Amino acid sequence: MKAKVARWTAIVAGVLLLAAGLWLVKTKGVQQGMMEAVPFVCIGIGCGLFGHGAGNVISERALRSDPKLRRKIEIERNDERSIAIANAAKGKAFDMMTFVFSALMLSFALMGVDMTATLLLVFSYLIVHGFALYYRLKLDREL
């Protein structure tokens, strides 16, 4: 029941954000700086929420009529092999992210990009690697 409410909440929130963004674009007053981007951010997030919620509702209704397909998808989703493949793909993506973000931080520093943007990237990079280290140590103790 909670999942059903969450799906419909996402749809309604998406429509409201989309409408608010379109209204802000239409009645755009004198806006400067970041406030110019707010309507477009609302539109983007609204479209994403609506699409995600609507996709979940449609797939749930499609699977409701076919219990065999629902069971097959559930088995594939919970299959150990699929989980192992997904985790290996995440690991490879994390390894690539390390080098890509490192190169991006270096290029930001060399190009003279605003210090705030560079530091935000560095801090987010360090937070991600801090979580990786934390979970690595946690899982080493457990296993």
Query: Three-class SS string for 49-62?
Result: HHHHHHHHHHHHHH
Q: Give the start-to-end residue ranges of the domains of the chain.
A: 1-78, 79-143
Q: Rounded to an integer, what distance in angstroms lies between the CA atom of residue 13 and that of residue 45?
A: 9
Average pLDDT, stretch 105-130? 91
Is the CA virtual torsion 63, 67, 69, 71 positive or negative?
positive
In Å, what is the CA distance from 52 to each residue of 18, 77, 142?
Answer: 14, 19, 35
pLDDT in tens, 65-91: 888 888 888 888 888 888 899 899 999
Q: Does the pLDDT of residue 100 top 80, yes or no?
A: yes
Query: Is the pTM of the predicted complex or chain greater than 0.75?
Result: no
Q: Which residues contact 47 (CB under 8 A, 6 or more apart)?
A: 14, 18
